[in-house]
Structure 1
Amino acid sequence: HADFPGFEESEAPGPDRVEQHSARGEFCRPEVELLSLVRNVVIQGELVRQDSWGKDQIALEIKNNKRRIEEICISCGSLQVITQHPLFEGGLCDPCKDNFLESIFLYDQDGYQSYCTICCGGSKVLMCGNSGCKRCYCCECLDALVNPGAAKIAEAMDHWTCFMCRSARFFGLLRRKRKWQLKLKQFFDQESEHLRIYAPVPINRQNPIRVLSLFSNVTKDLQDIRILDRVPDSNQEMLTFFEDLDNITRQNIEQRGPFDFVIGACPQNPSVDHSSGRIIFQYCRILQYARPNEAEERPFFWMFMDPETLTENDINDASRFLECDPVIIHDISDSVRLWSNIPSLKSKFAANMYNPTWKKRGKNTTEKTYMKMVKQFLVPLKDYFKSYI
């Protein structure tokens, strides 16, 4: 692939000039056909624009006023910095910090980040061509932080690999942090009042996700949305399904586990023997059995789905037992209520993200089809487990 002119890899750039570094596509896989696709970002039905940002002043502040990049918000150019960006060297102002906390884990229906990885905004973004990455970067950030005209050069490339996927860490003023996985966790632990996350796992250390499915077998559904491989290792069962939980004990779960993801779906028509209240109790009981010990820091996720069949008392009980409030995901003809610890479902924007082109379904739809409605909210799992998305 052609190189970016002047983007040769070098030592860390000095504060008085904007260096340029390599943007080669050596990590692009040949089968990737994503090219350097450019799209307008539409969130909540509106085009996201931040034309008033002062990103173009970042390089001038560093060159002319001798400011350190840590003193400047790399998302908008503000000098009112209150914290540091978790992924790249540079500061964040208060509004941009809040925006990052709410938006970094949001993904569109196509599986790509909804917002720029750097600023969590942007009117036009470039999608990484590296299979499995799914990150986006806005043209404004590339031109302001990498080099003027960098976005146009990237657009013209056959395969553009993003700054989180390359071996080099320095790209003009954009400098990826060492151990960014840990720093991202520390950022949320310090700055977020409602969300705690696990440190993302480097790709070379990721394993396939081990799923415990309760009440409904979601193997095919998870394969369809590519959370599970269609051809799993024959020596290892990656999904365990229990429908009747009355006789399931802690020992049963420990023998079949450990599990990384526990998912349960409340049936649309609970039977007398399996009332909605009892289903909630059974799910919470098994969830406690499957949770890792507090001393373990391995990523562990869970989700309980309700196709809006629970009573108000049941909803309150579920929220109390699961220690979080639900999010309702709307569609044209359906909606589903979700309790989960997956980061994307903790965003205040989550309930407004849905697919308006979803085909209208009949009354007899089973709860398993709701997995397609929540596909985009499962994308963050790729940062922890081997992904087929």
Structure 2
Amino acid sequence: MEVDVQHPLFEGGLCLRCKENFSETLYRYDEDGYQSYCTVCCAGLEVVLCDNVNCCRCFCKDCLNILIEDGTFEKLRDTETWNCFMCTPSQCKGNLQLRPDWSVRVQDFFANSSALEFEPHRVYPSIPVAERRPLKVLSLFDGIATGYLVLKHLGFKIERYIASEICDDSIAVGMIKHEGKIEYVNDVRTITRKHLAEWGPFDLLIGGSPCNDLATVNPNRKGLYEGTGRLFFEFYRILNLLRPREEDNRPFFWLFENVVHMNARDKTDICRFLECNPVLIDAIDVSPAHRARYFWGNLPGMKHFFSMSSSRSQGRLQFSLFLNNPLSLQFDKVRTITTKTNCMRQGKTGQLPVIMNGKDDSLWCTEMELIFGFPKHYTDVNNMSRMQRQRVLGRSWSVPVIRHLLAPLKDYYACEERV
């Protein structure tokens, strides 16, 4: 079997078929929060789970018994408490050797796993301070206005922010929290060339189309070309309508986001249409919760988001800082917060992340908001229920991630005077 690429986590290589399987399933999780497949081969029917409550790794019988020695799986399965090879690298034996720079290699692997090469994006020179204008932004699939919130926090002057969104709860959050300063235009499919000419020209296009029919965790997914997967092509259509001509020196930036655990063929097709490879960013490096996402775009510096190795060891925020009662904390970090109620459960036993009055308890809405980077009570509008608030949060972007990505635009656009 010919080696197509080096394994990003452990010493060794992957063939083309295993590479595609690895890229599709490494970030796929079961309802218990653990990886759906073995960390080494991304397959395996029988697995042993790591007992570290902050870890989600599992290792299959074949990998353990073949790469280390026969009987390893049975030995670890019968061990009362076991921390995996990722948590305790000194345990690595035989042919299972963890790479010291695995975190950097993982990001490189996902950035280049489409096996396509593209011309670099056009680089725009910085604009002199006196010539910088306020931003005009078009946000597709806007959600709860994360883009607007981040741009205002960064101090940008915003001339116009037009948002396409069809969820009434999300629109209510954006309208109320931003006092009607966002212009809503509803369904992205109704936006025409004429509309864009009337509203623009835009400086920034952002969006992340629905992931339901792309995510491999959905057994009924329809893929990129059916169902909600087709909405990606609405972003692509509008991107092409907004791109300035070659002779136009006006800077134009764009950002597209979607899930990591998608079919390799769908990812390759998205790369082919957008003419670039994505960067993988997990919000765990700048927040207390996992949220691995692909980002495509031409934002300055986005391919070098930050040093993964240094941020993992130094930059992670303490989960306790985000709790109303820090003494109730049961875990250092939480897993990806989604629209499902059971996403809060952690570890083998399905514990909830905090203790309240001596009992396991879920996160409060205000705690979830802070973990995502939103102000407390950001989604507390229109008497929305707890589940409604979790749903709009579960579909949103991580504020600190978007802040890191959009901050370099300060070299191009006007900002408010500092008080």
TM range (shorter): 0.3 to 0.5
Q: Please give the TM-score of this superposition, normalised by the length of structure 2.
A: 0.41
**Greater share of residues in helix:** 2
Q: Please give the TM-score of this superposition, normalised by the length of structure 1.
A: 0.44
